[in-house]
Amino acid sequence: MEKVMTINSGSSTVKFKLYEMPEEEVICSGNCERIGEKEGIFTIKWGTNKESYPCNFPTHNEAAHKVIDTLLEKGFIKDFNEIKAIGHRIVQGGKYFSESVLFDKETEDLIESLIPLAPLHNAAHLTCYRAFKEVLPNTPAIAVFDTAYHQTMAEEDYLFAIPYELSEKYSIRRYGAHGTSHQYLNQEAKKYLEGVEHPKIISCHIGSGASITATKDYKVVATSMGLTPLGGIMMGTRTGDMDPSVFNYLVSVTGQSAEEVYQMLNKKSGLLGVSGISNDSRDVLEAAENGNPRAITTINLFNRRIADYIGQYFVRLGGCDLIIWSAGIGENEPRTRASVSKLLEESLGVKIDEEANNKLHGQEGVISTDDSKIKVVVIPTDEEVMIARDSYRIAHEIKDKK
C-alpha cells in the first residue's frame, strides 16, 4: 500500500485528495480556497468527518504547506516520504502531451510555453506545482493533462477553417477538455460493452462546464470543446458554439472591449445569460416548471444543443453502442437525461426507462429500456482517481528503471 496525492489547482484554489494505492481508497480530501485574498478557507474531510475554518493563504506556497502540515498533524502520514507520488491536473497540454508524464524541467517548460492558450489555468498549475515541489522535493510529481485523451483526433476533426498557416504558426486547433473524465468514463464503460467488437461511445460530461466526446475502440475521434472550454455545447455560463461574427458584432454595438465581450461569453452566458436566473440548472428547471417562458426557452436550447452533438457524433462514428451521462447535471438530473433522450427517440431509437432514470441521482446504472437501439447509462465520473492511477503507475515505472 502506498500513498498518492492528487492536486487540482486553480488561480485561487487548491483541491487535494490523498489515496491509498493501488486500492484506490480515499484517505482524506479537501481544499484551500480564496488564495491571494484577505481571508482564505481551509477544508478537510475524512470518513464522515469535515473540518472547515478560515486560514490565510497569501500565495499557493502557504496553501501547499497547510495541506502537508495538516496531513502530518492528523496522522494521515507519518512523514513526507510516505507520499510516493503527487499528481497534478493540468488543463492545457497543447500538442505536446498525449499521455501523463513525469513533471520534470522539460514538462515544466512546455507547460509554461502553453500559458497563452490557458492563461489562468496553466499559470496557476505551475505556481502550485512549484509550491508543492518546495514542500516535497523528493516526491515524484506527475502531470496529467485534460487535453491528452483527445490527441488521437484526425486533422479534419481538430482543425478550424481559418488560414492553415495561422493554425500552424499559433498552434490553433481543437484541443478539447475534460479528457481525464472522458477517459475514465470509457474505461468504466467496458463492462457494458462485452462482446461488442469495435465499441462506439458518446460520453456526455454535463456539469457546469460541459463537453461531449465520441470514441471508437476507446480512442477519441471527436470532442465538443475547442481551442478552449468555451466551445461546444451550451454550459452554465459559457455560450458553446456560435457564429463567430456575434463576437465582432457585440464589440461594435456594445462599445465593450474585445476582452470584456470575451469574459461575457465565458462567464455571463449559457444557462445564466439566457435565463437571467441562474447558472445552476436546478434553478432554471424549477423556473421552467413554474411556467417562466425564458426559463423554458433556456432549457429547450440547452437540451437541443446536447441532442445536436449526439446526432452529429452518431454520424461521425457510423452508429453508437453506448451513451454515457456524467458530471453534476448528467449524474443528478433525470429531467435533462429524459428530455434529451426524447429528442433522440425518433431518429436514433433511444428509449429511456422512466423508473430507472428517475431513481438515479449520483449512482451508476442503465437507464435505457431493453428495446432501446442504443444503451444509455449513468456513470459518476472520477477525474481524481484517474490522476491517482496514472501517478501511481508512472512513479513505479520510474522506480523500476532506476
- Write out the residues near ligand ADP by the rule CB under 6 A: 207-209, 236, 280-282, 327-329, 332-333
For 231, the grid coordinates are: 466551445
DSSP-assigned states of every residue in 79-147: SGGGEEEEEEEES--TTT-SS-EE--HHHHHHHHHTGGGSHHHHHHHHHHHHHHHHHSTTSPEEEEESS
Q: Sheet with 365-366: list strands edge to edge.
A: 219-223, 210-216, 200-206, 322-326, 375-378, 365-366
Pairing mode, strands 375-378 and 25-33: unpaired
The residue whose grid cell reads 487535453 is 147
- Cβ closest to ligand ADP, residue 332 vs residue 357: 332
Pairing mode, strands 365-366 and 219-223: unpaired
Nearest-approach distance from CB 266 to ligand ADP, in angstroms: 13
Q: Give CA–CA dist 181/281, Å, rounded.
A: 20
Nearest-approach distance from CB 177 to ligand ADP, in angstroms: 10
Nearest-approach distance from CB 278 to ligand ADP, in angstroms: 8
- Cβ closest to ligand ADP, residue 93 vs residue 209: 209
Q: Give CA–CA dist 232/223, Å, rounded.
A: 8
Nearest-approach distance from CB 41 to ligand ADP, in angstroms: 17
Catalytic, 146? Answer yes
- Cβ closest to ligand ADP, residue 140 vs residue 328: 328
Q: Give CA–CA dist 222/309, Å, rounded.
A: 10
Name beta bridge partners: 42: 32, 53
Cα–Cα distances in angstroms (integers) from residue 212 to residues 171, 229, 344, in the given order: 22, 11, 15
Q: Cα angle vertex 197, ends 223, 366, to 5°?
A: 65
Cα–Cα distances in angstroms (integers) from residue 279 to residues 226, 240, 267, 268, 369, in the given order: 21, 14, 9, 9, 31
- Given the residues 79, 104, 109, 146, the one annotated as active site: 146
Nearest-approach distance from CB 281 to ligand ADP, in angstroms: 3
Nearest to 201 by CA among 374, 35, 3: 374
Return the residue nearest ligand ADP (CB atom): 328
Nearest-approach distance from CB 396 to ligand ADP, in angstroms: 29
Q: Give CA–CA dist 217/243, Å, rounded.
A: 32
- Cβ closest to ligand ADP, residue 237 vs residue 372: 237
- Three-state DSSP at 21 gives strand
Nearest-approach distance from CB 282 to ligand ADP, in angstroms: 5
- Cβ closest to ligand ADP, residue 40 vs residue 207: 207
DSSP-assigned states of every residue in 44-96: EEETTEEEEEEE--SSHHHHHHHHHHHHHHTTS-SSGGGEEEEEEEES--TTT
- Cβ closest to ligand ADP, residue 71 vs residue 324: 324
Nearest-approach distance from CB 392 to ligand ADP, in angstroms: 23
- Cβ closest to ligand ADP, residue 21 vs residue 235: 235
For 379, the grid coordinates are: 456513470
Decide if 203 contacts 177 (C-beta within 8 A).
no
- Cβ closest to ligand ADP, residue 13 vs residue 281: 281
Residues that are catalytic:
146
